[in-house]
Amino acid sequence: MRIGVALAERSGLDALERLTKEVRQAAADGLSSIWIPNGAGMDMLTALAVIGTRVPGIELVPAVVPTYPRHPATLAQQARTTAFALGPGRLTLGIGASHKIVVESAYGYDFDRPIRHMEEYLSVLVPLLEGESVSFRGETVRAQIALSVPNPERVPLLVAALGPKMLKLAGERADGTVLWMTGPRTVCDHIVPTINVAAETAGRARPRVVCMLPMAVTDDVKGARKRAGEIFEAYGTLPSYRAMMDREGVEGPADLAIVGNEQDAREALEQLAAAGVTDFVAGEFMRGEDGARTREFLKTFSNS
């Protein structure tokens, strides 16, 4: 199981320098990948094109780029340009439909039938990422275009998916899925079987299952869980994540955080690996000594 870290968006005039420093440290620590959300700050594909030319080797993933605000041909062009700038094997594109409250309130789009939206979106995005031309006319997306970006390889694609229909799409059309706020029992009983069957039926390779969870290696378990509950509280109110928490049988995000000493953390990651997770991405949320201890654990686990 590969080990990566999630980094937060940065603001201010030194945002790129700060992110570059964090990515450089993750690479020096021997971690396999970094994952950064694409929110209302810097466009993350553009930022990664800059950062990746400064820091070699480590896989870079925007996790995830919301699909509704961008035409799939435009996103494919941007992703392939970033991949061309970084070189082969550096960029993986993570996409997701986002949430009703974001899509409708922030962007003014109708979040009606997100499965149909994603299915049609992938009908344009996937062939363009693979260097093919596309001619498609759907209810929500239309395109007749070929791109001439000279990147030599297809850009790998992950689709954020939690429900069975979206997981089926991710298995059939993409290289895997990236999860958030999804516990080990749900991964084992729901996520992995659903996406693996879809990929196998479609004749595709076994997909990546990327599990991203908050993590703190600490002796102050109670304090860390309280802190996780405060930082990640909002995720417990979003329907898609709430459904995964209910399936897991937990009250909220604090209960999903991996919190404890090194042995506790190791056992938690081993449980995820046994469930079929291919990549674990740590959302490091503690600072100071506990933050350093968490990163030291990740370094050790990654290099073991």
Query: What pLDDT score was predicted for residue 71?
Result: 97
d(CA 48, CA 73): 19
Quick count: other Cβ atoms within 10 Å of Cβ 16?
16
pLDDT score of 106: 81
Please tell me the predicted confidence (pLDDT) of residue 167: 98
- Sign of the CA dihedral running 12, 17, 19, 22: negative
Pairing of strands 157-159, 93-96: parallel
Element (H, E) at 3: strand 2-6
Distances (CA, A) of 17 to 2, 6, 115: 26, 17, 38
pLDDT at position 99, please? 86
CA nearest neighbour of 52 among 61, 44, 64, 60: 60
C-beta atoms surrounding 202 within 10 Å: 11
With the CA atoms of 24, 30, 35 and 40 taken in that order, what torsion angle do they form, in degrees rounded to the nearest 10?
-20
268-280 pLDDT, tens digit per residue, is 999 999 999 999 9
Question: Chain-centre distance of CA 175, in angstroms?
Answer: 12
Q: What is the pLDDT of residues 7-27, one digit of tens each?
A: 999 999 999 999 999 999 999
- 123-147 residue pLDDT tens: 999 999 999 999 999 999 999 999 9
SS3 assignment, position 46? helix
Single out the residue of 160, 139, 140, 149 nearest to residue 92, CA to CA.
160
Q: Do residues 157 and 208 touch, judged by C-beta distance below 8 A?
A: no
Rounded-to-integer distance, Cα 136 and Cα 143, Å:
5
Phi, psi dihedral angles at 66 (to 5 degrees): -65, 135
Question: What 3-state DSSP class applies to 36?
Answer: strand
Give the residue ranges of the chain where pLDDT is below 70. none
Q: What is the pLDDT of residue 150?
A: 96
- Architecture of domain 161-304 in this structure: Alpha-Beta Barrel (3.20)
3-state DSSP: the chain helix, strand, coil percent, rounded to 5? 50, 20, 30
Looking at residue 112, what DSSP letter applies? -
Q: What values do phi and psi take at 302, rounded to 5?
A: -65, -35
